[in-house]
Structure 1
Amino acid sequence: MGLRLKNTDPAIAGPLRPDLPTAVTVARRHEFAARHSLSVAARLPGARDLPPGPLRLCYLAPRTDVGGGARILFEHGNRLTAQGHEVAVLSHFPRPDWIDVRARFVQVPFGVELTSSVPACDVIVCGYWDQILAARALGRAAVVHFEQGDFHLFEEIDRDTFAVASRNLVAADATITVGGTVASVLESRFGVPAAVVGNAVDRTVFTPSGPPATADRPYLLFVGWDGNGFKGMDEMRRVYSTLTASGRPLDLVWVTPRPPLDPLGRVVVSPDQSTLAALFRGAAAYVCCSRYESFSLPCLEAMASGTPVVATRNTGVLEYARDGENALLADVGDVPALAAQAARVLDDAPLAARLREGGLTTADAYSWDVIVGRLEAAYRAAAGAWTPPELPPGWTFTLDGLAFADPAAPEALRHVAAATAARAIAVPVSYPAFEGHRAVRWRVVARRGASVSSVSSVSSGGAGDAFRADLAAAGAGADDGAGAGAGAGSGSGVSMSSGDALTAGRGVSISSGSASAARRGVSISSGGTSAAGRAAPIASNGVIDADAVRAYLPAADLTAAVGAPPADVPYAAAMRDFAAGRIEPALDGFMTVFQRPGSRAEAGRWVVLCLLELGRDVEAAELVSGAVREYPDHSDYHYLQAMVGRLTGRRVDRDAYAAAIGMLGPATHYAEWFEDPASLIRGRF
């Protein structure tokens, strides 16, 4: 078989555990890359009568660790929930423990497109630009981009990155942002108008009246992770070194969302809000060395806490900072000037007192009571300026023999068909593989005959003008502008069938099999009938052809059985041999596919299973170890590695594997995966 062996003596090897950070990084790259290929139908002008009452809002949070951007998204959710709106917050990352999230929070596995879990809603709020096309592709609600600023606005970027960012940014039905500077850059750089709905500070938390953090000596407070160059942490080190070079008794407290690459001073990682507020109150000064910011929330929180602020003249700070009135400012990158300004605060008590008073006055103007009203107006205007896209004629759906896990999936499929500019749609379809395991593959279930205009032809007029007019009437900063749009297409005449609720094909009981199968505790059998009349399969390497878009609407193939896989499986004959206990010919068949370019990820899983059935455990361990390195976000290989490790006598960190597989979820970025891998790993341990 050409498999290379190496020593896996359990006596000298450490415990097996997954590399979750690498797996998450690769999964995010796969999701980002998949979004690049999306194209949505162009918007047509339109509007609808939105009934009064609470809005249904869904926020897509790109991160949940400590940071100003994440804090604002969660505050939006909390404040809008308190106003009676129905708010859901979706993220791949765990629920934060540093802030009380009172909106409904849903953690979506990294292996699944985040937008696939969007519930029925009036507005989808994208917290980052790369989510916009994926949200638009759902065709179910107005998509509002909440722009908080990042490298795409303030740094030079290559042509390809600019093109990808631009395609997403112009696709939003409306855009809101935190400040006039960001709105101006969006307009000039990408041609995207945006309404300004500023940030705010929670004055019940960030207040000068609470207890301060205690310290033996005065300290400067810095916030940011040194892995983000724009935060100016290099300048921070030099400012602190300059101030202490003369023997000045001064400490440094460094608040960071994750452990720093090169620690300095007292490091506080991911503090909760009350701890952060106490750190602000106890600081002699807060120093911001950022090279750019969209708003710079920590500076405003420092002001609200009664702490003098020293900052660079970055775009975000200049939204509210006035040199000598509520802060002392220096040019970006000017370390001597920053150090001199910090020294003035430390040495001039009357100046520090004036800055505190000026900062408190500034913070009073950024009240959540005002901001929430503007948010409500912006979202209601966007929802009212949007109409659902209509399903154009020419679509053909092949759903016979499928049972969707969600009874609403066929209707969701219609929405995707109406919204996409692609000519085909694929959904994940599961089939029984062997005892306790169902395999899932992407299958094209819908095709259209005619092409449509894509988002590249969308203009900023039409419904966008209606959105800005509605926002202006509501007094929500409409003078800054915002784009909006409506659905495309007309007519249908499409006949769509759907299966019953998924009630079959779960927990299949399979009996009889080879002696080697019994030794491994895997009971397999032959039988069943072959399926026919299926929709055309996607490419076997897991990359859907250019004409198809993926919609994560899980379904089961009720016509398939163990030993009778669907026709679109590239190693169907090998699976029949495997089910019949003919493991050697099955291994040959799987290896044939395994050696094809682009097919290793899907076929390798079956090769590992065959090797185990044949008692070739060392080869199985070698193969699965290499597969985990090559496909670190494929949860099946982590599952198999844990199982192989257990069979070969290795110590296995069961909790780490269960946690990693639960966070990764199904490996939908690949051609095939096992259904519900989290339940599989829990069941085996």
Structure 2
Amino acid sequence: MKISFVLPTVGMSGGIKVVAIYAKMLADKGHEVVLVSPPPKQLSFFRKVKSLLKGRGWPKVNVEASHLDGLGLNHIVLETYRPATDKDFPDADVIIASWWETAEWVNALSQTKGAKVYFIQHHEVFDFLPIERAAATYRLPLHKIVIAKWLLDVMKNTYGDHTVDIVPNSVDRLQFHAEQREKQSAPTVGFLFAYADFKGVDVTLAAIKKLKESMPNLRVISFGSFPPDNFPQWDDAIEFQLSPAQDKIKALYAQCDVWITASRTEGFNLPAMEAMACRTPIVSTKAGWPMESIISYENGVLTDVNDVTAIADGAKWILSLSQDGWKQLSKNAYETLADSSWEHSAMLFENALHHAISRQSEREI
């Protein structure tokens, strides 16, 4: 197949990571893959002048590292941030939008650019977006591929689309793995840092603060793509690593006795899966993949969104287990992923693309 992906500005987000994995695996299978994305948005002239007047100098837009780097893929970056149009793509068998704005662009393309697919990794109706426009993209006549059952249900029940393919994410066992181990000598928790409100880092930090009341020797590990300097609840005692190399992340997961994820909403939550692949039990809110896979007190702990006390209590329960009890929980977390592989997911994704092409030929999309 000739396959085009239409991306937003690329970076180190989980969504870009998933697209990069599929694009690489499809290319390795012999498909012709092209990826198109805009560069970062330029600051307005007013904001540049404001920065200059405040003594910060004339700002520059830095090009961020991305999960596409070093994969040898045909990635075309537009000359400026603008909608992608027909002239930006070769004729193809299938063209894939990867978030709400790119769905608008793909919908406007000619049929020669391929069967139109909407790869949905979250229900993107957030306050920081034009919600009505974003929601309208789920009603466009595009073939939908979703990554989780809850998104399948939203597409059916909210948007009336009953012809949706589900392709669950997986985890790279070569990258994320760990030997069997015992608990750390000092109780250790970890979490992913992000500024986005829906990631619930404020809730995580509140739960950790509560946990420290009964476990003053608690060690806390975190990593993220941005420094936490301006996060109001940040605790300087947290051992933070900025943008660690991908091959170093498994060691961070494996240093933890419990991984906390307190998202208010998630499309999937890859870090939760990665932590479990590294034999680290998780405490998670009911958001994304964990609510489909975690059974409380069997392979982790599941809590309600924004429930600081429940998150702290769940982490305390895990940290208070005996060595044998913790090792069993760790084993259960690891075995939750026994049937998961990117190879299987890539096969499902490839099948979903053929489904889209078939639907286009039958004029269903």
User: TM tier, shorter chain?
Assistant: 0.7 to 0.9
Alignment of 1:96 with 2:53, yes or no, is: no
Aligned-partner residue type, residue 224 of structure 2: T
* Alpha carbons 1:123, 1:383 under 8 Å: kept: yes
Report the CA distance between 1:129 and its aligned residue.
1.7
8 A Cα contact 2:145 2:166, kept in partner = yes
Q: List aligned pairs for 1:420-435, cutoff 5 A.
A: none
Partner residue, 1:187: 156
* 1:272-320: CA deviation from partner (whole Å, max 9, x where unpaired): 3212222111112111111111221111111111111111122432122
- Render the CA deviation track for 1:116-161: whole Å, top value 9, x for unaligned: 5223321111110221231122212111111011442xx6899x73
Q: Is the 8 A contact 1:136 1:143 kept in 2?
A: yes
Paired residue secondary structure (2:280): coil
Aligned to 1:64: 10
Other-structure match for 1:380:
354
Letter in structure 2 aligned against 1:372: A
Indicate the structure (1 or 2) with the bigger Cα radius of gyration: 1
Residue 479 of structure 1 aligns with which residue?
Answer: none
Supply the distance in 1 between the matched residues of 2:64 and 2:93 (Cα, whole angstroms).
Answer: 23
* Structure 1 residue aligned with 2:48: none
**Which amino acid is the alignment partner of residue 156 of structure 2?**
E
Give the equivalent residue in structure 1 for 2:206: 238
Distance 2:148 2:215 in 1: 41
- 2:144 aligns with 175
| 2:177 is aligned with 1:203 | no
Aligned length: 330
Answer whether contact 1:97 1:272 (CA < 8 A) is retained: no
SS of the residue corresponding to residue 205 of structure 1 reads coil
Distance 2:88 2:180 in 1: 40
Counterpart AA for 2:279:
G
Q: Are residues 1:340 and 2:313 paired?
A: yes
Q: Alpha-carbon deviation of 1:210? A: 10
TM-superposed CA distance for 1:204, in Å, is 0.6
Q: Select 2:83's aligned residue among 91, 113, 117.
A: 113
**Cα deviation 1:400-459 (Å, max 9, x = unaligned):** xxxxxxxxxxxxxxxxxxxxxxxxxxxxxxxxxxxxxxxxxxxxxxxxxxxxxxxxxxxx
- Is 1:250 the counterpart of 2:250? The answer is no
- Using a 3 Å threshold, how does the CA distance of structure 1 residues 210 and 91 change in structure 2: closer, same or farther? farther
Matched, 1:87 2:33: yes
SS of residue paired to 2:95: strand
Contact 1:295 1:319 in 2 (8 A): no
Q: Which amino acid aligns with 1:200?
A: S
Against the structure 1 CA distance between its residues 90 and 156, is the aligned structure 2 distance closer, same or farther, given a 3 Å change threshold?
closer
Shift of 1:100: 4.4
- Residue 161 of structure 2: SS of its match in structure 1? coil
Q: CA deviation at 1:344?
A: 1.5
Overall identity of the aligned pairs, in %: 24
CA distance in 2, matches of 1:107, 1:219: 42
Q: 1:186-221: per-residue Cα shift (whole Å, max 9, x none)?
A: 22222234211111111110111499xxx9954311
**C-alpha separation between the residues in 2 aligned to 1:90 and 1:218?**
45
SS at match of 1:295: coil
Give the letter for the 2:281 counterpart.
P
Q: Take 1:360 and 1:368, find their aligned partners in 2: how far apart are those partners?
A: 16
Q: Map 1:526-605 onto structure 2 (within 5 A).
A: none
Matches within 5 A, 1:361-440: 361-387=335-361
2:245 to 272, 289, 295: 272
Q: Contact 1:95 / 1:107 at 8 angstroms: preserved in 2? A: no
What secondary structure is seen at the aligned counterpart in 2 of 1:114? coil
CA distance in 1, matches of 2:89, 2:329: 45
Q: CA deviation at 1:224?
A: 3.7
Q: Which amino acid aligns with 1:125?
A: I
Deviation track 1:319-340 (CA, whole Å, cap 9, x = no partner) reads 2222122211222111111111
Aligned counterpart, 1:309: 282
Residues 98 and 118 in structure 2, CA contact (< 8 A), matched pair in contact too: yes
Contact 2:123/2:151 (<8 A) preserved: no
- Alignment CA distance shift 1:177-1:234 (3 Å): same
| CA deviation map 1:589-615 (0-9, x unaligned) | xxxxxxxxxxxxxxxxxxxxxxxxxxx
Q: 8 Å contact 2:138–2:159 — kept in the other structure?
A: yes
Code of the aligned partner of 1:331: D
Q: Tell me: CA distance 1:205–1:172, structure 2 relative to 1, closer, same or farther (3 Å).
A: farther
Asked if 1:223 corresponds to 2:192, the answer is yes
Q: In structure 2, do the counterparts of structure 1 residues 192 and 102 end up closer, same or farther at CA, with 3 Å as the change threshold? A: farther
Find the aligned partners of 1:145 and 1:170 in 2 and give their Cα distance: 11
Are 2:107 and 1:136 aligned?
yes
Does structure 1 retain, via aligned residues, the 8 Å contact 2:100–2:124?
no
| Contact 1:66–1:256 (CA under 8 A) maintained in structure 2 | no
Runs of 5+ consecutive residues of structure 2 not aligned to the other structure? 40-62
Once residues 312 and 92 of structure 2 are traced to their aligned partners in structure 1, the CA distance between those partners, rounded to angstroms, is 50
Report the counterpart of residue 44 of structure 2 in structure 1. none
Mapped contact 1:145–1:172 kept (Cα < 8 A)? no
Q: Give CA-to-partner distance per residue, 1:144-190, whole Å, 9 cap, x none.
A: 111011442xx6899x732x234322224300001111111122222
Once superposed, what is the RMSD of the aligned Cα atoms? 2.7
Q: 1:297 aligns with which of 254, 270, 290?
A: 270
Q: Which amino acid aligns with 1:85?
A: H
Q: Could you say what secondary structure the match of 1:336 adopts?
A: helix
Instruction: Give secondary structure in 2 for the equivalent of 1:234.
Output: helix
Alpha-carbon separation, structure 1, partners of 2:109 and 2:180: 46
Task: Provide the secondary structure at the position in 1 that maps to 2:264.
Answer: coil
Distance 1:62 1:218 in 2: 40
Distance 2:193 2:297 in 1: 24
Measured in 1, the distance between the counterparts of 2:277 and 2:70 equals 20
